[in-house]
Every structure is written in C-alpha cells, then in structure tokens.
A and B are shown apart, each in its own frame.
Chain A
Amino acid sequence: MKHFTIKTAFAGVAVLALSAGLAQAAQTDITVGMQLEPPHLDPTSAAAGAIDSVTYANIFEGLTRFTSTGAIVPGLAESWDISDDGLTYTFHLHDGVKFHDGTDMNADDVKFTLDRARAEDSANAQKALFAAIAEVNVIDPLTVEVKLSEPNGNMLFNLAWGDAVIVAPESIDTIKTNPVGTGPFKFSNWVQGDKIEITRNPDYWGTPAKLEKATFKFISDPTAAFASVMAEDVDVFTGFPAPENLPQFEADPRFQVLVGSTEGETILSTNNKMPPFDNVKVREALAHAINRQEIIDGAMFGYGTPIGTHFAPHHPAYVDLTALSTHDPELSRKLLAEAGFPDGFTTTLKLPPPSYARRGGEIIAAQLAAVGIKTEITNVEWAQWLEQVFRGKDYGLTIVSHTEPLDIGIYAQPDYYFQYDNPAFQALMEELNATTDPTKRAAMLGAAQATISKDYVNGYLFQLAALTVANAKVVGLWENAPTQATDLTAVYWED
C-alpha cells in the first residue's frame, strides 16, 4: 500500500504516546457511527445528506444556521436588515472569521458562494433555494447585500441549509476531498469506506469546541451498527438504523437513547398520473386501507408519529389531518368498487434500502392485499430508485421519507415524481412564497396541508423519529434532527 509509510508509522507512535499521556484526563475524542458514508465532502454540490451529517456546523457554516430545535439563528452573519419591501437583505458578517487554511472569510466569499450556487452551471442540489436571489453585492468586507427578484419569506431559512454554507474560491477545487470551512473543527483524514476524522480548530472565531478530535465511522449494516455500539467501538450512533434494538440499549446503564423528531415525512408515494391512481377515489381507498399504527409498530418498533399530511408534527403550523385517512378496510373496498375495481387491481411497489421502506413495504403489501390490491414488491438500490421512480416515474407505489425541512412546496411541481398537478395548490404556494407575515403564512400552510390531504395525493404514514444511541457519559448531542447534522460543537464527556 502506498499510504502505509513511515509517516503513518510515526503517526501511530504519536497517537500511542498521546493516549498514554492523557489516560487519566477526561476523554476528549469521540467516535460517531453513522450509516451512510458521504460520497465526497462538498455540501454545496450534492444532495447526499451524509455530507451534511459530517460537515454541517462542524466544518462548514452558513450566514444563518439551524439550532437543535429547528430555529434559525445567526451564523457567520451576526445580524441582518431586511428592507420594507422584503427585497433587500443586508447581512453584517462577524469580524475575524478565518477559513481553516488561514485566509479571511469576508463578503467576497459570501458573494462567491451564493453566485456559484445559483449559476447556470451550478451543481448545487438545492438550486431552488437560491432562485429568488437577483444579485449579491459586496458593500464592504463585512457587509453583503442580497437583492431578491420577489419577496421570499423563507430566505433566512434557506440560507441556513447545508447547501448554502460559505466556501472560499481558493479552496473550491479540492473541496470534495479536502474541505476548508470556517467551523470549530478542521478536516484531518478520510479512510474511504471506513471513517473520517476531524480535529478541533484552535483559531475558531466563536466558542471553541470542547472535543479535541472526532471520528465519523461508517457502518451501513444495521446489525453491525448494533454490535459496534454494544461493543463500545463507537461512542455515539446517530440515525440508528435498527429501532428494534433500542429497548436493549435503554435497559443498559452504559448507554443513553435519544428519541427526537426529524423533518422526514415518510409517505407511500403514489404515481398520480398512472391509472388507476389518477382516480381520487382509488387514492382515498388506498389511504383507508393503511393501518399507520401497525406500520409504526411493525417497521419502526413503535418509534414514529402518525401524520395525515406532508408536514412535520412538531412545526407550529402543523394541522392534524390523520382523521381523513383512518384505517377502514370496509370503506376502502367500497371506494374501490365505486371507482370500478370491485376485485381490486395489481400495481408495483418499489422499495429503497432503508428499513422503514423495506419492512414498511411488506406490511403495507399485506394491508393492501386485505382490500384486494395486489402489489409486486421490488427492492431497489437508491441509484435504481432515482432512475426508475424519481426520474423515470416508472412505478405505482413507493415508500420514501422526505427529509428536507418544510418541503410541502414539492406538491406545486407538476413534474415531481408523484405527478400531482393542482393549479389551485400551485397558486397557493406562489402566494405563500411572497408572504412574510408569520400569521398569514401559518394559515396558508394549514390550507396547503388540507388540500393535499383531501386530494389523497400520497399515503401519509409517519414522521420519522431521530434515533440516537450514545454512551451515557456523552453530553450535548442534538436530540432532534431539524436538518441533517451531527453538531459536535457543544459535545463533551462527563466524568
């Protein structure tokens, strides 16, 4: 192996010496397990949530940021002014912020980042977040002016996403393998297929991190995940993939289990253009055939909150619409008969890898069979899912968790994979985007939730729970997952 050189040998010796010296002090390093390995480390050019899980708030920071509760707070911008017409945002940046390579973070970097993200040839996976931006102007090194083409009530929220973190033009060419950000941790090493290591940034502009070093270990197999926590090979496992094992961790004093909320609406996505699902009666029948609690119990071992629409229950504007789609096989059969399918029909059910989909799919197939709807299950890898379902729209039903925060807007895109085309809903969304008043926004969001729920666009199943297992002595972890992140800034070991 090329990489196994004298340097690595020295590093090994150094680590040994260090760990010997620190044996008595409180532990200052942590190993965090997670299921998915990032394909690379540039959060601004890929959708892979795993990139944010490693980099968000640790390596990279944006103008604004999410807190663990989902609130938007200042990040690299210490404050901002919004003009009365809602079209001009003026951000005042923190002074003295430096990138890990020692260069200053200033207004030019902000302009570079935003212009790059919204450029014609941008590879940003969430380009739509920046669609409202008309121009970005540098006023002085610490002041940036962002002009919008139309008012956008979500602008500060949009800028908090991992896709909007500030990057520097000097380091952009190698960002994928050597990310250079402004955060409290620096990237130090990546053993592909195994782990990524980050170390404390001694020159951090804000409150420095308490940990010296953190290792992200990638363990895709749920059993291996369980075993690695049990054997204490990892100190924390975020997004723990096997909910069935959580009671064992809860019963064990060595561990703590955190159950929080995520932005993941898990839905039975339905191809609204494919017969017979173009008939709202059939979709309604589908909704009544489903027993949510059984799915939550069977697939998630009880972890998850039932939802009746595409909206996170912990959000203030959430409306509980589960009553529109109660489990009622009798009604379901009646609706099917009215729609012209007294004997049911056969459709496809394509299931991506996560266990909520694979296990949930088997349960749903049995529930649908009970009302006469036969399903052909196909397990697909994510790449095939994207190709066949998401892009090719070659599916009847599929199960997927939509983890982007506040993403009800996807129902306004008629060419989105579930192909819901309702001009009234689209108009509502346009109005919502142009509204900044919080009360009016909440009312509109409520109306939007009700519209898609009454149209039975998809089968709304449950809100994915954020499951974290950690060593009992680890303090400061996020309980909820308002965005994909493993914010280690405030994490430390209790003695």
Chain B
Amino acid sequence: MGRGGWVRAALSSRSFMFGLILSLLFLGAALLSFFWTPFDVARLTISERLQLPSAMHWFGTDHFGRDIFSMIMVGARTSIAVALVAVGIGMVMGVPLGLAAAARAGRLLDEIIMRGNDLVFAFPALLIAIMITAVFGASAVNAIIAIGIFNIPVFARLTRGAALSLWKRDYVMSARVAGKGAARISAEHILPNIANLLIVQGTIQFSLGILAEAGLSYVGLGAQPPTPSWGRMLADAQTLISLAPHIAIFPGLAIVFTVLGLNLMGDGLRDLFDPRLRRARA
C-alpha cells in the first residue's frame, strides 16, 4: 500500500480519527500547561473552594480552591510522562530480550528469558508496584519503575513470537547464508518488520500505563503533592463526592477519555498495519 493510500485509510477510519484527536487533545493540553493554564495550580485560595463549574472555573474548584481545569491540564503531564517512560522501559529492555530469545530459540538463553518472563507475569502486578513504592518510597519515579517492569515481559514475549516466524522467512535465511550474525540480522531484518506490531502494543501499554498511574496515585503511591495527578485528585475528591460530585467527575472523565483515545488509536493502527484484519472487520 502506498503512502497516500495509508493516509486515506486512516482518514476514513472514524474510530481511529476519534482516538487520534482525543489523544492529541490531551497531549496538547499537557504541552500547553508548561506555558499557560487558566489559573496557577500552586496557589491555594481556601475561600474559593468547592465552587461549581462556572464561566470563570470551567470545571469548578477543588477543596483548596484550585481550578480543576488547570489541574487536569497539569495532571495530564504527569500521567503522560509516567506512562510514556514506563513504555520506554518496557521496549528498551523487552525488545532486545525478545530478539535474543528468538535468535536462540529452544536453547538455554531462550529458556532463561522466557522463564524470567513467566516469573514476572506470575507476580501480582499491583501488589508488586505497591511493594516497590513501599520499599523505596512513594514517588512518580518509583511508579514509573513499577509500571515499567511489567511492560518488559509484554514486549519480550511479543517480540519473540513475531521474530520467531520471521526467522523462517527466505530473506532471513539468505542473510544467514551470507554470513550475517544473529545480532545483525535481528537489527537489520527482524526489527524493522516488527516495528508496526511494537507501535500498536506500545499504544495499548501506554493507555494501560495511564490507568496504572491513576491507580497508584489514587492509593497515594504515585506522584507526590503538590504535583497534580489525576489519580490523586480522585483520592482527594473521595470524601467530598457527596458534597461536590464535580471534583470527582472531571478527573475521572479525563482518565476515561485519554485511555479511550489511546485504545481507539491503537485498534485503528492495528487495522491499518494489517490490511487482512481490516478487510475481515470491515
């Protein structure tokens, strides 16, 4: 498929476009918050707390009188940063492991990597995340590490599976005959051909990372105050929910729409990259 066809296909996929727009919206809000927010999120005005949405405060104010709209903009930054780095960790560590396992399929190295994967999978993820933050203290960095660790086996397994089938292809065979080493083949022939898959999985892990970050901050193990974060906004809102439901509703909706956007985009990408699937689902 040519480049033009690809773009046309993308433009014609409604759910992909919807996802893309939602994702860009939050990314844009996060970037914009570096330069401008309607109100300063560091300033507390107790006398103006718990105001309902109005022309001045679009989403109302929280229990400290901070503007919730501004908080959500800055909170997007935290969520995106944590999830993005966590996906990065998963890819940087997981993809080479998966490539190595595929190159040495059936041998000891493969066995060790795959068993290691199973082991990480066997740990109840949330419990371990809580343990990590309990051991090293609660912070955004530790949340990243905790989420990142569980991304490693996801990418390793995906990479190994996809790479295994590629190793049987003719052009890889001929590269081997030409005397190229396993590392070089992996880098030159395997990796470019599984990049699509990795991008799709990356999008999905990214959205899972945002959910995980929200969960960890909700239990107080993510970014620390005064850094705004969606999960902590929800935790703060909890006792006030019957008094001022809006302070629980907007951060929750922010999470839902971001995750929804990323998921739609991920699904859309998969369909675009894999025309067979697209046909099947059309």
A interface, CB within 8 angstroms of B: 221-223, 226, 230, 241-242, 244-245, 248, 294, 297-298, 358-359, 361-363, 365-366, 369, 377-381, 384
Residue of A297, A298, A365, A381 with most chain B CB atoms under a 10 A cut-off: A298
Min Cβ gap B231→A in Å is 13
- Supposing A222-B239, A223-B239, A245-B242 touch, asked if A366 and B44 sit within 8 A by C-beta, the answer is yes
CA distance A362 to B224 in the complex (A): 10
- Of B46, B137, B220, the residue contacting A363 (CB under 8 A) is B46
Contact call A366/B225, Cβ cutoff below 8 A: no
Contact (Cβ within 8 A) A361 B239: no
> Given that A223-B239, A363-B46 are known contacts, is A298 also in contact with B64, CB under 8 Å in the complex?
yes
- Interface of chain B: mostly helix, strand, loop or mixed: loop
CB < 8 Å neighbour of B242 from A248, A298, A377, A384: A248
Distance, CA A162 to CA B86, complexed state (A): 50
- Chain B residues with Cβ below 8 Å from A358 are 225
Identify A378's interface contact among B47, B63, B224, B226, CB under 8 A.
B224
Determine the distance from Cα of A244 to Cα of B42 in the docked complex, in whole angstroms: 22
Q: Do B243 and A245 touch (CB < 8 A)?
A: yes
Inside 8 A of B47's CB, which chain A residues have their CB?
Answer: 297
13 further interface pairs, Cβ-Cβ under 8 Å (given A241-B239, A378-B138): A223-B239, A244-B63, A245-B242, A294-B44, A294-B46, A359-B63, A362-B44, A362-B64, A366-B42, A366-B43, A377-B225, A377-B226, A379-B225
CB proximity to A under 8 Å, residues B124-168? 134, 137-138
Query: From A291, which residue of chain B is reached at the shortest CB distance?
Result: B46
Which chain A residues lie closer than 8 Å to B239 at the CB level? 222-223, 226, 241-242, 244-245
B238 interface contact, C-beta 8 A:
yes
With beta carbons under 8 angstroms apart, the residue of B46, B63, B224 that contacts A379 is B224
What is the chain A residue whose CB lies nearest that of B241?
A223
B10 within 8 A of A: no
Contact partner of A361 (CB less than 8 A), chosen from B43, B225, B243, is B225
What 0/1 pattern do residues 234 to 266 of B give for CB contact below 8 A with A?
000011111100000000000000000000000
> Using an 8 Å CB-CB cutoff, how does the interface string of B39-69 with A read, 1 for contact, 0 for none?
0001110110100000000000001100000
B51 CB to closest chain A CB (Å) equals 14
What is the CA–CA distance of A206 and B248 in the complex, to the nearest angstrom? 51
- Report chain B residues within 8 Å CB of A363: 44, 46, 64
Q: Which residue of A lies closest to B134 (CB)?
A: A381
Q: Which residues of A contact B225 (CB under 8 A)?
A: 358, 361-362, 365, 377, 379
Across the interface, which residues of B come within 8 angstroms of A369, CB to CB? Answer: 42
Give every chain A residue within 8 A of B138 (Cβ-Cβ): 378-379
Binary interface profile of B, 214-231, with partner A (CB < 8 Å = 1, else 0)? 000000100011100000
Q: Which residue of B lies closest to A225 (CB)?
A: B239
Chain B residues whose C-beta falls within 8 Å of the C-beta of A297 in the assembled complex? 46-47
- A222 cross-chain contacts in B, Cβ below 8 A: 238-239
